[in-house]
Amino acid sequence: MEDATAETALAWRDALRRGDVSAREVAERYLRRIEAHHELGAFLAVIGDQAHSDATAADARFAATSRSERSTLPRLHGLPIAVKDLVEVAGMATTRGSAALRHRVATADAPGVAMLRAAGAIPLGKTQVSELGLTGYSENAIAPPARNPLDPSRTPGGSSGGSAAAVAADLIPMGPGTDGGGSIRIPALACGLVGLKPGLGAVPGDLAAAAPSLHDEFGAPRLTVSGPLARDPADAAMLFDAQRGATREPALAAVRAADELTGLRIAYSAASPFASVYPIALSAESGCAFEAARERLAARGHRIDEATFAYDPEYPEAFTTSWTAGLSRLALAPDAAARLMPLTSLFRERARARTVEAHERAGARLRDFAADARQQWGAYDAVLTPGLTMLPPRVGTFTSMHPDDDYRLQCEWAPFTSMVNVSGLPAVAVPVMRLPTGHAMGVQLIGRIGSESQLLQLAAQLTSP
């Protein structure tokens, strides 16, 4: 497809605030691109009329603001975004990627969407996801699969795969995602983007009144957080600052000062807790990206130490049990249950067959894992791991398999992400290489609590010449 490396989100933001371009012109530009590239399957629904109305209102606000007061405009004034279809947008149906559920129209925005609207962002629509956000690819029974703009025969990952495809193809300048086991970082790595998974609680809306606890109903660590998908670290920082409602833009300021960061102690490890049950092997391309990242960080004056991390061999079973425990509460009539995807259906049956005590034991095991991982990783300022172990599989690969083989391949492809969700710590996915074939390869950096800005600085160092 045509080159999709147009203006950065930050450049669009600045042009809008100067009045060089109107919000309506920007919205129309992206709506045309969405229509022109519908074959990517990135969008499930587009709200062009509402976007035009919102953009017109943004332009009226701009016209009523004097030049000397333009700094008071919302920080994302007029910038288009899209929302993955696990998240409510007022006036739009929420499908959660499932043919088994009723697609109710939301009466209000989810907290994270409300925060971005207040910051001036304009939603253009809802993007493709995996069913209930369960898998690391974005294929379901309600719409065509999302495809990777770098190679449309391959998956863009999941569950934020539609949003990642939209950002990578320049159908939106940047986009919010959610991440419960890698759902921001996997698509970012697959599509050559920067994807930040903040620490639990860093984005206020993630611990809203409906779910304020750090643990789920079975006592497992709460996994899902909101974060940005962007084409570069500065765009990711700008969106992250807006998502958390920061008074100024501390993450963006940090990225702009990234060259000043040096002297960190960074662990270098390809250990995965899934290695106790699945063969975890890096492809040549993945290993090359991992080594390139190590060399670049060392050249920036950081101390890179090869670390030997030891993980609980029972992690795979405990994580799988806790990851799917919520399915035990999914009440469906038999005809609706028959419309579930095969993996969802099988894992729901198993979850419903377990006792509450079994789910609670798995939750306790993950709490212990989280404490141990934080202690091991806490000896360092950051931990560098590989990103994905291989190129993204082709669309249809996962769904053509038995659900157990589907899940196994997901764990073998992305064996380094879910452990970070369990720990509650922040992590960032960073593109490091573009292969001659056009595919991307990247790495993951894990930080300490509250280190999101520092992780974005490291991302800037990895992606700068």
**One-letter amino acid identity for 419?**
M
Alpha-carbon span 429 to 263, nearest angstrom: 21
Is 183 among the residues known to form the active site? yes
Q: Which of 22, 159, 163, 418 is catalytic?
A: 159
- Please tell me whether the peptide bond between 159 and the residue prior to it is cis, using omega within 30 degrees of 0: yes
Q: Which of 22, 138, 163, 183 is catalytic?
A: 183
Torsion of CA 404, 407, 411, 413, to 10 degrees: 110
Question: How far apart are the two ends of the chain, measured CA to CA in Å?
Answer: 26
How many Å separate Cα 339 from the centre of its chain?
A: 27
CB-based burial label for 339 (10 Å; 0-12, 13-18, 19+): middle
Is 84 among the residues known to form the active site? yes
Active site residues: 84, 159, 183
